[in-house]
Amino acid sequence: MILERLGGDAADSTDSTDPVLECLGLTRLAESMYQLLLQRPEWDTPELAVELGSTEEAVEASRAELAGLGLIWPSHENPGRMVAIQPNLGLGALIAEREAALLKEQHELQQARTAMMNLMREREAAQGARETGEIEYLRSLDSTRNRIAELSKDVQSEILALIPKAGLSPESLEASQKLDGEVLARGVSLRTLYLDSVRNHPATQQYAVWLTGLGGEIRTVPTLPMRIIVIDRKTAILPIDPKDSRAGAVLMREESVIAAVIALFERLWESALPLGTSGQRDDQGLTAQERELLRILASGLTDEAAGKRLGLSLRSVRRVMADLMTRLEARSRFEAGVRAVECGWL
């Protein structure tokens, strides 16, 4: 026991090789030296070094260690000498600190356990929701693509899609062409909404010609809220983060959500222009894209933000805006805004 060792004589204290105060931060040599100083407070460095079978440098290092832990302090009777503090004071303080640290660690572990249980409950709830068909989280782009491929094999009658892209990558076109070809061959109705800006994307144009040749339909609008796919009017796939498709998607089968998404699609589809037809201008000579650009800029958004919404490059946004300013005979953006209101463009 600790107190038994501290209560023995100096020779006995140095015979044992098992450090019992290591848990309080003491090295083996510092522990032995502390026990010696309790019994022989008058011993200096040379005597301690001989008794401990160590060097004077190591003894001085242990002395600094003991002082740092508050186990020795300067003697009032003999200036320049360090004396050991009684165990109930010195070790008691270290034990209290250690107990407090252990209690804190136990509290943190309990918090971690609680967080783990909460995560397990959430996972079980999500799994239960998936099993009941209400919601399913797809946490990556790959899992989203794989799930869409699985659902495409089981689609019975219809696919509705909103694709807010200025143009599809070769990889996306290849994957879409394979899946779309398979569902159209089974007589499934396929309607897709793209941004007007895809009209300037040759590869997407070629894909549209191929798709419509198989019976699919494609229309375009100036802006779209996010990427959405609806399968058989029973399942909707929406992005977890509309700004980052790599974050994955949420698969929903809640009837109210499906109804809302379909209503949004049908409203957009009604006002959309079939891809392959020339851009129509309204009675004021504006295309839908030009009018939407004016509306977006009038709301205070920057050219860059407008370009992202419309699927246009910054250069294209400024080119279209310059053309509108010419038609409005405006010399500044502010004057163009005033004239657009006067002309009923806004």
Backbone angles phi, psi at 64, to 5 degrees: -65, -35
174: CB partners within 8 A, 6+ apart? none
8 A C-beta contact, residue 312 and residue 320: yes
**pLDDT tens digits for range 125-170:** 665 555 455 788 888 888 888 888 888 888 889 999 998 877 667 7
Helix%, strand%, coil% for the chain, nearest 5:
60, 15, 30
Distance CA 291, CA 343 (A): 12
- In this predicted structure, what is the pLDDT of residue 174? 75
Distance CA 38, CA 87 (A): 9
- In this predicted structure, what is the pLDDT of residue 126? 60
9: left (phi over 0), alpha (psi -120 to 50) or beta: beta
- In this predicted structure, what is the pLDDT of residue 222? 86
139: CB partners within 8 A, 6+ apart? 240, 247, 248
8 A C-beta contact, residue 316 and residue 307: yes
- In this predicted structure, what is the pLDDT of residue 124? 65
8 A C-beta contact, residue 233 and residue 266: no
- In this predicted structure, what is the pLDDT of residue 4? 37
DSSP result, 178-238: HHHHHHHHTT-EEEEEEEGGGGG-HHHHHHHHHHHHTT-EEEEES--SS-EEEETTTEEEE
- In this predicted structure, what is the pLDDT of residue 14? 39
Q: Which of 292, 297, 294 is nearest to 328 (CA)?
A: 294
Weakly modelled stretches of the chain, pLDDT under 70 = 1-19, 123-133, 167-168, 276-280, 282-283
Distance CA 45, CA 129 (A): 73
Residues facing residue 159 across a β-bridge: 190, 231
Residues facing residue 187 across a β-bridge: none
- In this predicted structure, what is the pLDDT of residue 7? 39
- In this predicted structure, what is the pLDDT of residue 131? 46
- In this predicted structure, what is the pLDDT of residue 276? 65
